Amino acid sequence: MENLEDYRKLILVKRDAKELRTIIFGENNINDWDKLIILYTMFLVIQHLYLVYQYIHIIINSGPDDFRKDFINTYLFFYFITNLKGSYCGMIYSISKVDNKLAYNMHDNMKEYFDY
């Protein structure tokens, strides 16, 4: 049952991404700078998400040998996870300047992953 719910959420996120793609790459009256800001904030979210997962892997696989190394890895993990929230909020805000309904839909579909 839970897998079905995850699949439904994925479909909603894919629908929003398709709509966003038509806004960014389609012919419309949206300013090119707004499109560029949306792409930039999306890149930041993806980059921070990737780094968070990388540091989860590093922290899990590290041994108890070096406190300094573990401390730096844990610090960087929390740094990237807090920046992930800021990047997500910036992405939703930049999308809301172009299409308020799409920004609300995207936040509604992904809020459980980013509201902590």
* More confidently predicted of 6 and 86: 86
CA-derived radius of gyration, the chain: 17
**Residue 116 pLDDT grade (very low, low, confident, very high; cuts 50, 70, 90):** low
Cβ-count burial 60-96 (b if 16+ within 10 Å, e if not)? eeeeeeeeeeeeeeeebbeebbebbeebbebbbebbe
**Quick check: 76 pLDDT over 60?**
yes
pTM (2 d.p.): 0.73
pLDDT of residue 49: 87
pLDDT of residue 115: 66
CA distance 71 to 59: 10
* Domain ranges, ordered by start, for the chain: 2-114
Of 13-17, 56-60, 80-84, 93-97, minimum mean pLDDT range: 13-17
Report the percent of the chain where pLDDT is more than 90: 6
Q: How much is the mean pLDDT over the chain?
A: 83
pLDDT of residue 31: 82
pLDDT of residue 93: 92
